[in-house]
Amino acid sequence: MRLFLFYLFSGIALLSAVLVITLSRPTRALLSLIVALFSLSALYLLLDAAFVAMANLIVYAGAVLVLFLFVIMLQGIGAREAPLIGRFRLSYLWGAGLAGVAFLTLLIRLLGASGFQKSKIFSESIAQFGETLFKNYLLPFELASLLLLLGVCAAVSLVKKEDS
């Protein structure tokens, strides 16, 4: 059952990720990114990372993507893209093809590798997660809060109009 859910949500995530980069209307691309993030949260839950799954839902799908939606709505019709064909020269594709072949070789080797087949799924409680976070990672945690504050100040001072 767990394996089936894993493949189901991976399929949904990959499909909506492809939609994110191919749809030409920005709002639709954004909504399919939200679908991808929801299924990624389900994958995190399946991998026993409940806290990260919920934070992903709240922070990404709840806050960040709504911010994106506001900015896209602000632009209106100007945000629509040129069609895919006229966007770049086709002669550049050989490099992408080369990289794709290398990546495919890597994937096939990974499928055949035996060392990766076993997976010990642990079930750690959220209290243990918090204990590790606030004991071993206390300084990065505080620095992250400082970084958030700096980001907010930078955004406000960038967007503020000078003459008002």
Partner 1 sequence: MIPIGHVLIVSGILFSIGLAGLLIRRNILLILLSIELMMNAANLLLIAGSALHGEADGQITAFFVMVIAAVEVTVGLAVAVLLFRTRQTVDTYDIKWLKG
Tell which one of 71, 73, 98, 101 touches partner 1 (CB under 8 A).
71
Please say which residue, 63 or 98, places its beta carbon nearer to partner 1.
63
Please say which residue, 2 or 164, places its beta carbon nearer to partner 1.
2
- Interface with partner 1 includes 77 (CB under 8 A)? no
b/e map 3-17, b = 16+ CB within 10 Å: eeeeeebeebbeebb
Residue closest to 54 by CA, chosen among 71, 40, 70: 40
Tell which one of 8, 64, 66, 101 touches partner 1 (CB under 8 A).
64
Q: What angle do the packed helices 2-22 and 26-46 form, to 10 degrees?
A: 160
**What is the rounded distance in angstroms from the CA atom of residue 102 to the CA atom of residue 83?**
28
Tell which one of 8, 48, 66, 73 touches partner 1 (CB under 8 A).
48
Q: Binders of partner 1 among 122-141, rule CB under 8 A?
A: 122, 124, 128-129, 132-133, 136-137, 140
Residue 151 beta carbon to partner 1: minimum distance, rounded to whole angstroms: 4
Contacts 24+ apart (CB under 8 A), 124-132: 124/48, 126/50, 126/51, 129/51
- Interface with partner 1 includes 73 (CB under 8 A)? no
